[in-house]
């Protein structure tokens, strides 16, 4: 078991948010959300969590045990609990999104519409500051709906009038608290464990810059610290965040194999065949194992042009080899 997986109350933070006012987190039961709440608790913040009505009890308990005040409701509609959650919060953090939405949901709904509702509720509640986490590669010209919708969502926040910091991380890996994990890493581990070979789109030659989830959470805390400090400089553009190491997807898979004590061949899954498989998954699975957008992203590098993680953390990010150690316990 990695030393990075700790009791949440033992987590340390270089930031002190005590007395800065309430911080509201939506998407709080997710992978990043639970880690951010832990980092906020370590920073002495007053934490509010907006939790959707279908959230699982074990994920809710993680937030409750960290001392967060929970509000169960949905951004759409006139939910009084949602209005109460946003009311007079100092900062609101928007995390809702998915690269592989469940059947019936679209990227536009999850990212653009939900961000618009987030802005609407925040302004109605008197919130003046917002932190939003999108994705490295967000762009109006991106080939995937995931990245174009993330860029459109950013515009909702940028044009809202709220003082804001937007963070664009690369692939998030590792775990510190709770039970949630990177869906991509979970899928790779399942392939390694259950299949005779590991199929990767285009052979997994696309380069990544994986970032430890704990560093991502603390970067969000650093952003909240900036927004609530009188003299801090607020960046005018989204900040790209990545880890210290750039490597191809197939190398990441090999490192996971070593940790799991397994050696299996990596086979190339051609792009056209991968798209057919993803289309079938999206049609017949409630939550697709792989989406067409994930296939498209597998054909492109996902690395920073201007990595700002050290600037936010005031320290170097956790090495990839250390961040991945948690998976050795499986």
Cα-trace Rg, the chain: 19
With contact defined as beta carbons under 8 Å apart, do 132 and 157 qualify?
yes
Of 10-19, 33-42, 156-165, 285-294, the least confident: 285-294
Query: Residue 78: inside a domain, yes or no?
Result: yes
Q: Quick check: 58 pLDDT over 80?
A: yes
CB neighbours (10 Å) of residue 329?
Answer: 10
Residue pLDDT, tens place only, 205-234: 999 999 999 999 999 999 999 999 987 889
- Is position 122 within any domain? yes
313 pLDDT above the threshold of 50:
yes
Residue 172: inside a domain, yes or no?
yes
From the list 226, 243, 244, the residue with the least C-alpha distance to 235 is 226
Residue 311 covered by a domain: yes
Residues 230-242: tens digit of each pLDDT: 878 899 899 999 9
**Domain membership of residue 48 as a residue range:** 8-180+211-243+302-317
Determine, yes or no, domain membership for 220: yes
Q: CATH number for the domain including 117?
A: 3.40.50.720
Residue 308 banded pLDDT, cuts 50, 70, 90: very high
Using CA atoms in the order 308, 309, 311, 313, what is the torsion angle rounded to 10 degrees?
A: 160
Model confidence at 83: pLDDT above 50: yes
pLDDT higher than threshold 80 for residue 33: yes
Tokens 């790779």, residue?
188
Instruction: Output the six-digit token pair for 184.
Output: 């991509």
Q: What is the pLDDT of residue 230?
A: 83
Q: Report the pLDDT value the prediction gives residue 310, as an integer from 0 to 100.
A: 97
pLDDT at 9: 60
Contact 75, 82 (CB under 8 A): yes
Confidence of residue 51 (pLDDT cuts 50, 70, 90): very high
Is residue 14 included in any domain, yes or no? yes
114 in a structural domain: yes
Residue 274 has pLDDT above 70, yes or no: yes
As a whole number, mean pLDDT of residues 81-107 equals: 88
Count up the domains in the chain and report the number: 1
The answer to whether residue 216 sits within a structural domain is yes
Burial class of residue 52 in the structure, from the number of CB atoms within 10 Å of its CB (0-12 exposed, 13-18 middle, 19+ buried): middle
**141 in Cβ contact with 103 (< 8 Å):** no
The pTM of this model reads: 0.92
């Amino acid at each position: 078991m990695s030393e990075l997986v700790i009791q949440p109350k033992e987590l340390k933070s270089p930031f002190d948010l005590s007395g800065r006012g309430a911080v509201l987190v939506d998407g709080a039961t997710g992978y990043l959300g639970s880690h951010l709440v832990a980092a906020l608790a370590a920073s002495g913040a007053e934490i509010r969590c907006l939790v959707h009505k279908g959230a699982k009890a074990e994920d809710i308990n993680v937030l409750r045990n960290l001392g967060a005040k929970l509000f169960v409701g949905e951004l759409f509609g006139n939910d009084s609990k949602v209005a109460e959650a946003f009311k007079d919060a100092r900062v609101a953090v928007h995390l809702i999104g998915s690269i592989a939405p469940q059947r019936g949901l679209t990227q536009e709904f999850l990212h653009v519409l939900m961000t618009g509702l987030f802005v609407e509720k925040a302004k109605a509640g008197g919130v003046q500051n917002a932190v939003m986490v999108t994705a490295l590669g967000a762009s109006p010209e991106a080939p995937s709906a995931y990245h174009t919708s993330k860029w459109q969502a950013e515009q909702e926040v940028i044009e809202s009038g709220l003082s804001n910091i937007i963070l664009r991380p690369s692939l998030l890996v590792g775990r510190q608290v709770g039970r949630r994990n990177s869906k991509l890493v979970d899928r790779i581990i399942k392939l390694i464990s259950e299949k005779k070979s590991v199929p990767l789109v285009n052979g997994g030659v696309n380069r990544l810059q994986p970032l430890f989830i704990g560093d991502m959470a603390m970067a969000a805390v650093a952003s909240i610290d900036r927004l609530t400090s009188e003299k801090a400089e607020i960046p005018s553009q989204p900040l790209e965040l990545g880890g210290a190491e750039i490597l191809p997807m197939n190398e990441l898979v090999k490192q996971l194999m070593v940790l799991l004590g397994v050696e299996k061949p990596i086979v190339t899954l051609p792009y056209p065949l991968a798209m057919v498989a993803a289309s079938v998954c999206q049609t017949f699975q409630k939550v697709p194992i792989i989406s067409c957008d994930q296939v498209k992203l597998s054909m492109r590098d996902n690395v920073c042009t201007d990595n700002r993680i050290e600037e936010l953390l005031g320290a170097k990010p956790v090495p990839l080899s250390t961040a991945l150690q948690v998976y050795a316990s499986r």
